[in-house]
Amino acid sequence: MNSELKLLAETTDKLFGEWNDLADAWRTLEETGLTRIGISEDLGGSGGDAEQAAAVLRSAAYHGVAAPIAETFWLAGPLLAAARLPIPDGPLTAATADLRELHCRPTDDGRGWELDGTVRRVPWARGATRVVLVIGDRICSLDPQVCTIRPGANLAGEPRDDLRFEAVRVDADDVVTLPAPVDLRSRAALARTVQIGGAAQRALDHSLRYSGERVQFGRPIGAFQAVQQYLAQIAGEVVIAELSAHSAVRAVASAGDASPAVAAARVNACRAAGVVAELAHQIHGAIGTTQEHALRLSTLRLWSWREEYGNETVWARRLGERAAALDDPWHLVTSMHTV
């Protein structure tokens, strides 16, 4: 990690480690430019690259921050910037509309668009200042108050809301056709992959601390060989998940074809999430499942995030199909090295 990334990681660790009041903390994020990091300044962002954005995202996940960090500067912000639409203050979110469930058509007067249908499980929609929808080849920016919000949540209790539109009119200025298709699913999957790395590291830290403090039969449980094996296995999975996520982020930053690296990172992270959560709870025993213990803030998110935007089976299949379509699959394998 270079000095600039290290300083950013230390700054965000301090900020998120002291995260208490959501409104005050979010205001601090905006004042420091962290809600627009990774977005070019001439497009309304605060500059920086994908690696810096990932460092902030990982830190927020490590500290269990309950806020739409990824949705704001990793998903919605870049979409608005690409469409040359204003990036408002406040929490943002984004989702891809299923064209079988949401219909977008020009209004009768030709001065806007009309939305009818449903967009399901939009992260953090109920508290967002703006929702950015990918509708086919269009980007639509809208106020969530114009639709009916049906609250939902994932296993970790994070909002995943359904949005219902009934002849909702959207101004033409808020709908932009992009010259190239947007794979929001892939970018969102990478965000969850980075977040899994942070949450998995926190679960490891909880396990190391607890195994050194919990005494059984006259010695810390960390002295028992079985627990040591669990800790070693967790640590190995964390390293694999973090290195593959780092490699995928570097591939995205290089502006080349990052899809194989993202798929491989996603497979590694999803597998790691299951192993880390299971073994961390084995080490903690019953106390790790209680509402009062902080381990649940990591493990519930690990279980939730590995299923969102495609689990390891989905991404393994995508990676396999990509390899099978090539004349030289070996080149694909050797090109996905970690830097």
CB 171 within 8 A of CB 112: yes
Q: What is the pLDDT of residues 91-146, one digit of tens each?
A: 999 999 999 999 999 998 988 999 999 999 999 999 999 999 999 999 999 999 99
Q: What percentage of the chain reaches a pLDDT higher than 70?
A: 98
Q: For residue 85, name the pLDDT band (cuts at 50, 70, 90).
A: very high
User: What was the pLDDT predicted at 18?
Assistant: 82
pLDDT at 2 over 90: no
- Mean pLDDT of all residues in the chain? 93
Tell me which H or E stretch contains 169: strand 160-171
Distant-in-sequence, close-in-space partners of 45: CB < 8 Å, separation ≥ 6:
36, 37, 38, 39, 73, 77, 81, 87
User: What was the pLDDT predicted at 150?
Assistant: 98
Q: Which of 85, 84, 62, 87 shows the shortest CA–CA distance to 72?
A: 87
Tell me which H or E stretch contains 226: helix 225-253
* Rounded average pLDDT over 234-248: 97
User: What was the pLDDT predicted at 175?
Assistant: 95
User: What was the pLDDT predicted at 315?
Assistant: 96
Query: DSSP states of 311-330 as a string?
Result: -HHHHHHHHHHHHHTSS-HH
- The length of the chain is 339
Rounded distance between C-alpha atoms, residue 91 and residue 130, angstroms:
7
User: What was the pLDDT predicted at 336?
Assistant: 65
CB 282 within 8 A of CB 220: no
Look up residue 290 and give its two tokens: 């209680």
User: What was the pLDDT predicted at 330?
Assistant: 77
SS3 category, 3: helix
CB 309 within 8 A of CB 189: yes
Rounded distance between C-alpha atoms, residue 78 and residue 84, angstroms:
10
